[in-house]
Amino acid sequence: MKTSSTRRRLGLRVTALTSVAVAAIALTGCSGAASSGPTTITFSYLWGGEEAKALEKVIADFNKSQSEIKVVGVSSPDAQKQLTSMSSSNGSFDISDNFGNTVGSWASKGILAPLDEYLKADKVDLGDFAPASMEQMKFDGKTYALPIAVHTQQLMYNKDLLAAAGVEPPTTMDELATAIQKLTVTDASGAITQIGLGNPSTSTLLTTLGYAFGGTWDGKDGKTPSPTDAKNIEALDWYTSTLTDKFGADKIASFTSGLGQYMSAQDPFYTGKEAMVIDGEWQAVNIPKVAPNLNWGVIDIPAASEELAGTTQVSTSTLFIPSNSKHKAEAAKFLAYIVGDKPMTDFTLALGNLPSKTSLLTDSAYSSIPNFDSWLKVLAGENAKALASQPYSAEYATDLGTAFDDVVRGVATPEAAMKSVADKAKSYDAG
């Protein structure tokens, strides 16, 4: 009797548990239907401050525009943390940003998701992006990122200093060299008190000059380091003969060591210590805020020959989807949205950057920014150049930077410095 009774109780218990299980399954199904709201994706971005506020506005607009996807923005300026997450089996975000020169290296390591199928499905017109900006977005024939904003370089000049020296804005390399001589001022001891051409970034300045002389830094195929290209050497020789040899590397170094912080009220271009600089479009937004009384202008970078007119260097701010994202399709839909006309315009205006789409280059939204059109117009030109984004690019940039510093400091000739980079490039990882 005890055994039979026990079995009956167990039978009743199993029946009860089965009923609970069935009910639970039914409730789960109902719960799934009831909570089948938007898929949440995480957008971890490197921007902060005012830039982050502008990006959060774009995110909010996207979330309001549809009900299938909810984007949660996270400001995380730690690039190493970003890379660590992308390299793990379980990533912490679905979409993020960086610069175009990282695309080739990251794509070759398999940590970026190829985007072509998603972009086709979401009807993103890749042909509308400035060609130079897209050069950094591809690796092995596939698209791995899109540019949300781009940057070009132009020659900025202090109108008052040029007028006082009787100098017209230069349009050729010879005119630029002459202007630099006239605009570089020394005191009785020979110390420089004003320099004709400033140097906000040595690597950007000298690679841009290489392009302006018709050189290439990544070979004719765009995939091979070519630091010893004859036109690159010509550009560096021009720089050394115009500045380093003429005024002395030690005196230039002494002068620059006492200059104020870049883009602050003490920026040497703002305070008249530098008569001219080759710099990016962000200055057009910063100058009215920080140095509103500065009388300045901007012109195309002088080129070594007529066919090189309008030469500039392009760099990019990119958006990408990591391979370990669990919501690639949803992240791609948001990516397609943010590179749409209005979001891109709103975001680039907030940052003081250029839109990457050629259809927006003449948009009236940018017309209120002083001199901004100068940077805009060269972006779509055939002489807009971008450094390659290949597996070797980061290492190459480091080696070029070291070699350029040696040239500027007068401790190595352009020929010797670039040969040292070419020798190192033989051991680069080809991916």
Q: What is the pLDDT of residues 280-330, one digit of tens each?
A: 999 999 999 999 999 999 999 999 999 999 999 999 999 999 999 999 999
Instruction: Specify whether 75 is located in the same domain as 142.
Output: yes
Question: Which CATH number characterizes residue 397's domain?
Answer: 3.40.190.10
Confidence of residue 35 (pLDDT cuts 50, 70, 90): low
The answer to whether residues 310 and 19 touch, using CB atoms and an 8 Å cutoff, is no
The answer to whether residues 213 and 235 touch, using CB atoms and an 8 Å cutoff, is yes
What local confidence, expressed as pLDDT, does residue 50 receive? 86
Percent of the chain with pLDDT over 90: 89
Model confidence, pTM: 0.89
4 located within any domain: no
Instruction: Specify whether 205 is located in the same domain as 266.
Output: yes
pLDDT at 10 over 70: no
pLDDT at 29 over 70: no
Give the domain extent around 417.
153-313+392-425
Instruction: Specify whether 181 is located in the same domain as 113.
Output: no
Where does 35-169 have alpha helices with state H?
49-65, 79-86, 103-108, 116-121, 131-134, 159-164
Confidence of residue 429 (pLDDT cuts 50, 70, 90): confident
What is the largest distance, in Å, between two alpha-carbon atoms of the chain? 119
Instruction: Specify whether 176 is located in the same domain as 307.
Output: yes
Our CA angle for 248, 249, 252, nearest 5°, is: 90
Look at the chain and report how many structural domains it folds into: 2
**Mean pLDDT of the residues in the chain:** 92
Instruction: Specify whether 260 is located in the same domain as 116.
Output: no
Confidence of residue 152 (pLDDT cuts 50, 70, 90): very high
Q: Is 429 helix (H, G, I), strand (E, B) or coil?
A: coil
What local confidence, expressed as pLDDT, does residue 1 receive? 36
Residue 299 phi, psi (nearest 5): -145, 160
Q: What is the rounded average pLDDT of the residues 60-85? A: 96
Cα gap 361→129, rounded to integer Å: 10
Q: What is the rounded average pLDDT of the residues 56-69? A: 97
What local confidence, expressed as pLDDT, does residue 36 receive? 74
What local confidence, expressed as pLDDT, does residue 428 receive? 94
349 located within any domain: yes
The answer to whether residues 138 and 321 touch, using CB atoms and an 8 Å cutoff, is no
Q: What is the rounded average pLDDT of the residues 204-218? A: 98
Instruction: Specify whether 266 is located in the same domain as 412.
Output: yes
Query: In this predicted model, what pLDDT tens digit does every residue of 217-228 receive, in sequence order?
Result: 999 999 999 999
Q: Is 74 helix (H, G, I), strand (E, B) or coil?
A: strand
23 located within any domain: no
Instruction: Specify whether 129 is located in the same domain as 175.
Output: no
Cα gap 398→402, rounded to integer Å: 6
Confidence of residue 13 (pLDDT cuts 50, 70, 90): very low
Cα gap 327→93, rounded to integer Å: 9
Instruction: Specify whether 415 is located in the same domain as 360.
Output: no
Upper half-sphere CA count for residue 297 (Cβ side, 13 Å) = 11
Instruction: Specify whether 220 is located in the same domain as 353.
Output: no
Distances (CA, A) of 55 to 45, 72, 96, 182, 353: 9, 11, 12, 45, 13
Question: Quick one: angle between helices 393-408 and 230-239, nearest 10?
Answer: 40
